């Protein structure tokens, strides 16, 4: 059972929070993961809505989109698809052809080479008060100076990189007091200026602006008048080559005495598209397209949106990265007959690092592979499948053994660090899962090794205080402390397909009463926790295969049955790609079961499933069995030869240590060759909507 937020307290907690929410908000389900998710989404749903900044889209909005798809899969409530459409429509509308190459897309300056040095004022110049690389204009060390006093700097968001200085600029009432820095630039390119700033409330206000000294014009200007630290951003296009450009920090008025402006984290860089950002958004769009295509009748209302997203991906996103006429050019590389990858553009210098990223890091091109794989499922385009397969082959062929686990680098270029970090590893793992479940590249043995990477090497083996290493080889590395990416594990949770501990690592961590969900990636983790919560059953539709047997649905165990009498059946299913068919042999029970736990003691639960039988008379049976006491808690039998939905209720034991198993089998085991098929087997607490 849960350690820090007992489920018996969840209803009280949820109802109290619900009182603080707008009228009509869906909440207080009794499921802690769902209630935490709703609470977060109600407040933060629109944090990045409509942005065109590709970094915010990739590392924010894409996670929320992914969570909406998972929430639909869990609940079958199309409200989540409506939200997905709203957010994706806004993102597509924000796409522009900023570089004029004929392809729409998004861009950011966050990872590009910085035009400004010492923008966080951490490095001193001639003395401790003077920031290196900056020049004072009419100001002195008493009106323009570095400061580490509390409140005079913002600091770094990185847990391991302390930032303890900001810059203070004061008016004297008689002359401009300024600070400036000249910079070189790429001509005719969009640049973005970002900074943190505040004032002391004086009418002098604060100001940051870009000055073209050659033409004596202001290219961009920001006014600061808030007394709390805020984030400011403005973009502009640089002129042709040969101009002298400068970034200035100052005030809007020098005639006001004692006006103070504070600056920190000043950055100025060219804005470029990034393949990984396009793919992080693109894979969610492609998955939506695939979902709608697989359900053309039930989801027909989304057909137009799906068509628009598919067109956007195929006409804008994909060709941008493999067409010589685009701004970035053709970045695809074939390696031999079976491998390939995307590399850094040779036409634009989009990365701040001096390392030539050839190939790009694994996480950057593997998510592109995921997008191509999903589109192949819709279009049948073999070129998409070929590239997706090549990229994953390239990755697989560079994995190394680490005991029973896998280890791999951040990238394949020579100077890459020796091990991938836990956070970026999410994307690598997700791509391997997609390929395995499609029957491509990765075997069950591979997936067991990836699972051991998490459960044997990275995890500290605690469920009361679960923590993960910073790197996939199980080490802290040179970072200041371990566990930096504990919460950033949406794809690692999916390894619960092979090992229940993957769910525990996330669930017990997020269940802690002191844990607060405050990022979109954490919302996605919550959705994955819900999806793999054993109290609801997992792999309910038999869509995912086990690592050791491609005919057996993951997390379901055969009892008395074999691959020929209990198997995933693509020809007989109510929805999705598979159902589970049991074939009777006339002499012994042919069954499968799933261990059921995390229940609330003495609570009432409802089992719902779809089933059909042939005309042999073998029929079907589903029952909840208490292995500890030998008692059947509830059951239902059926004999209908067409798909019908069946249900029964049962009460969980008063003690939560009993071993409980949900069984699927035949009603009459004396009949030979009777075929019975099951699908969408779900357990819900009485009163739950899903």
Who has greater pLDDT, 229 or 19? 229
Q: How confident is the model at residue 20 (pLDDT cuts 50, 70, 90)?
A: very low
User: Does 116 fall in a domain?
Assistant: no
User: Does 423 fall in a domain?
Assistant: yes
Arithmetic mean of pLDDT, 395-410: 97
pLDDT digits (tens, 9 = 90+) for 217-275: 999 999 999 999 999 999 999 999 999 999 999 999 999 999 999 999 999 999 999 99
Tell me, yes or no, whether 162 and 185 share the same domain: yes
Q: In 3-state terms, what secondary structure has residue 596?
A: strand
Tell me, yes or no, whether 260 and 294 share the same domain: no
Phi then psi for 53, rounded to 5 degrees?
-75, 115
| Whole-number Å distance between alpha carbons of 454 and 450 | 7
Domain boundary among the residues 236, 270, 304 is at 270
Residue 553 has pLDDT above 80, yes or no: yes
pLDDT value, residue 117: 98
pLDDT digits (tens, 9 = 90+) for 74-126: 999 999 999 999 999 999 999 999 999 999 999 999 999 999 999 999 999 99
pLDDT value, residue 513: 76
Q: What is the 3-state secondary structure (H, E, C) of 532-548?
A: CCHHHCCCCCCCCECCC
User: Does 540 fall in a domain?
Assistant: no
User: Does 574 fall in a domain?
Assistant: yes
Residue 24 has pLDDT above 60, yes or no: no
Arithmetic mean of pLDDT, 115-139: 97
Radius of gyration of the chain (CA): 29
User: Hey, which bits of 408-559 come out as E strands?
Assistant: 557-559
Distances (CA, A) of 354 to 272, 332, 419: 16, 20, 20
Domain boundary among the residues 270, 295, 324 is at 270
Residues in the chain: 690
Tell me, yes or no, whether 241 and 288 share the same domain: no
Tell me, yes or no, whether 409 and 494 share the same domain: yes
Instruction: Specify the range with the lowest mean pLDDT, choosing from 87-101, 262-276, 356-370, 676-690.
Output: 676-690
CATH assignment at residue 168? 2.60.120.260
Tell me, yes or no, whether 244 and 352 share the same domain: no
Q: Give the residues across from 260 on adjacent strands.
A: 170
Tell me, yes or no, whether 528 and 581 share the same domain: no
Contact 41, 25 (CB under 8 A): no
User: Does 123 fall in a domain?
Assistant: no
Spatial strand order in the sheet of 660-665: 557-559, 591-596, 660-665, 620-626, 631-638
- Which residues 6+ apart lie within 8 Å of 9 measured at CB? none
User: To 5 degrees, how large is the angle CA 421–CA 60–CA 381?
Assistant: 85
What pTM was computed for the model? 0.93
Contact 45, 34 (CB under 8 A): no
Contact 66, 490 (CB under 8 A): yes
Tell me, yes or no, whether 292 and 147 share the same domain: no
Tell me, yes or no, whether 152 and 63 share the same domain: no
Distances (CA, A) of 149 to 154, 168, 267, 355: 11, 10, 22, 37
User: Does 125 fall in a domain?
Assistant: no
pLDDT digits (tens, 9 = 90+) for 151-179: 999 977 666 777 899 999 999 999 999 99
pLDDT digits (tens, 9 = 90+) for 476-491: 998 889 999 999 999 9
pLDDT value, residue 157: 67
pLDDT value, residue 5: 35
CB-based burial of residue 606 (10 Å sphere; 0-12 exposed, 13-18 middle, 19+ buried)? middle
Tell me, yes or no, whether 264 and 339 share the same domain: no
pLDDT digits (tens, 9 = 90+) for 505-524: 999 999 877 889 999 999 99
Tell me, yes or no, whether 565 and 580 share the same domain: yes
Conformation bin of residue 249: beta by default, left when phi > 0, alpha when psi is -120 to 50 = beta
Q: CA-CA-CA-CA torsion for 53, 58, 64, 67, nearest 10 degrees?
A: 160
Residue 66 has pLDDT above 80, yes or no: yes
Say what percent of the chain tops pLDDT 90. Answer: 90
pLDDT value, residue 514: 81
User: Does 545 fall in a domain?
Assistant: no
| Whole-number Å distance between alpha carbons of 458 and 411 | 19
Contact 677, 605 (CB under 8 A): no
Tell me, yes or no, whether 285 and 241 share the same domain: no
Q: Give the domain extent around 159.
A: 135-270
Tell me, yes or no, whether 160 and 49 share the same domain: no
CATH assignment at residue 280? 1.50.10
User: Does 596 fall in a domain?
Assistant: yes
Arithmetic mean of pLDDT, 343-369: 95
Domain boundary among the residues 532, 549, 571 is at 532
End-to-end CA distance of the chain: 21
- Which residues 6+ apart lie within 8 Å of 658 measured at CB? 626, 627, 628, 629
- Our count of domains for the chain comes to 3
Instruction: Specify the range with the lowest mean pLDDT, choosing from 284-288, 304-308, 415-419, 599-603.
Output: 415-419
């Amino acid at each position: 059972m849960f350690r820090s937020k007992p489920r018996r307290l969840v209803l009280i907690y949820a109802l109290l929070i619900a009182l603080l929410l707008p009228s009509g908000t869906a909440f207080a389900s009794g499921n802690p993961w769902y209630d935490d998710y709703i609470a977060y989404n109600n407040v933060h749903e629109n944090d990045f809505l409509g942005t065109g900044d590709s970094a915010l889209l990739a590392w924010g909005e894409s996670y929320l989109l992914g969570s909406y798809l998972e929430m639909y899969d869990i609940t079958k409530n199309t409200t989540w698809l409506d939200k997905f459409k709203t957010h994706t429509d806004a993102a597509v509308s924000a796409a522009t052809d900023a570089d004029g190459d004929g392809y729409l897309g998004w861009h950011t300056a966050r990872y590009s080479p910085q035009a400004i040095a010492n923008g966080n004022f951490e490095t001193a110049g001639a003395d401790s008060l003077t920031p290196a690389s900056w020049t004072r204009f009419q100001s002195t060390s008493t009106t323009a100076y570095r400061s580490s006093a509390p409140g005079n700097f913002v600091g770094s968001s990185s847990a391991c990189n302390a930032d303890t200085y900001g810059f203070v600029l004061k008016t004297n009432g008689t002359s401009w007091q300024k600070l400036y820095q000249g910079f070189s630039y790429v001509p005719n390119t969009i640049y973005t200026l970002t900074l943190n700033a505040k004032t002391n409330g004086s009418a002098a206000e604060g100001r940051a602006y870009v000055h073209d000294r050659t033409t004596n014009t202001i290219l961009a200007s920001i006014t600061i008048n808030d007394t709390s630290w805020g984030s400011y951003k403005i973009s502009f296009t640089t002129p042709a080559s040969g101009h002298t450009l400068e970034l200035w920090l100052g005030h809007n008025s020098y005639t006001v005495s004692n006006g103070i402006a504070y600056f920190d984290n000043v950055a100025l860089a060219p804005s470029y598209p990034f393949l990984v950002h396009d793919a992080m958004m693109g894979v969610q769009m492609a998955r939506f397209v695939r979902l709608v295509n697989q359900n053309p009748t039930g989801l027909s209302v989304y057909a137009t949106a799906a068509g628009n997203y598919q067109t956007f991906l195929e006409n804008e996103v994909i060709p941008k990265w493999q067409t010589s006429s685009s701004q970035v050019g053709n970045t695809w590389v074939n390696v031999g007959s079976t491998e390939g990858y995307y590399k850094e553009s040779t036409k634009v210098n989009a990365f701040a690092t001096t390392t030539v990223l050839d190939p790009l890091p694994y996480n950057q091109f593997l998510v592109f592979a995921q997008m191509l794989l999903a589109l192949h499922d819709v279009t049948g385009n073999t070129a998409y499948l070929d590239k997706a397969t090549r990229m994953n082959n390239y990755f697989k062929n560079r994995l190394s053994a680490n005991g029973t686990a896998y280890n791999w680098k951040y990238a394949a270029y020579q100077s890459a660090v020796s091990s991938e970090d836990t956070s970026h590893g999410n994307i690598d793992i997700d791509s391997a899962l997609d390929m395995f479940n499609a029957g491509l590249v990765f075997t069950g043995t591979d997936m067991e090794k990836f699972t051991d990477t998490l459960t044997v090497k990275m995890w500290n083996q605690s469920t009361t205080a679960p923590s993960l290493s910073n790197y996939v080889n199980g080490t802290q590395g040179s970072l200041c402390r371990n566990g930096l990416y504990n919460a950033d594990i949406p794809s690692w949770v999916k390894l619960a397909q092979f090992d229940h501990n993957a769910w525990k690592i996330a669930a017990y961590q997020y269940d802690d009463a002191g844990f607060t969900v405050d990022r979109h990636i954490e919302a996605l983790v919550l959705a994955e926790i819900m999806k793999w919560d054993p109290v609801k059953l997992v792999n309910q539709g038999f869509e995912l295969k086990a690592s050791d047997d491609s005919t057996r649905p993951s997390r379901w165990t055969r009892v008395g049955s074999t691959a020929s009498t209990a198997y995933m059946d693509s020809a007989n299913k109510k929805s999705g790609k598979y159902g589970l068919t049991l074939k009777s042999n006339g002499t012994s029970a042919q069954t499968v079961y799933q261990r059921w736990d995390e229940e609330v003691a003495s609570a009432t639960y409802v089992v719902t499933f779809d089933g059909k039988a042939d005309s042999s008379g073998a029929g079907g049976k589903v029952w909840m069995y208490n292995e500890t006491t030998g008692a059947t808690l509830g059951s239902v039998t059926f004999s209908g030869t067409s798909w019908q939905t069946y249900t029964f209720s049962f009460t969980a034991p008063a003690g939560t240590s009993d071993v409980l198993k949900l069984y699927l089998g035949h009603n009459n085991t004396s009949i030979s060759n009777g075929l019975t098929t099951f699908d969408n087997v779900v357990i819900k607490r009485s009163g739950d909507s899903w």
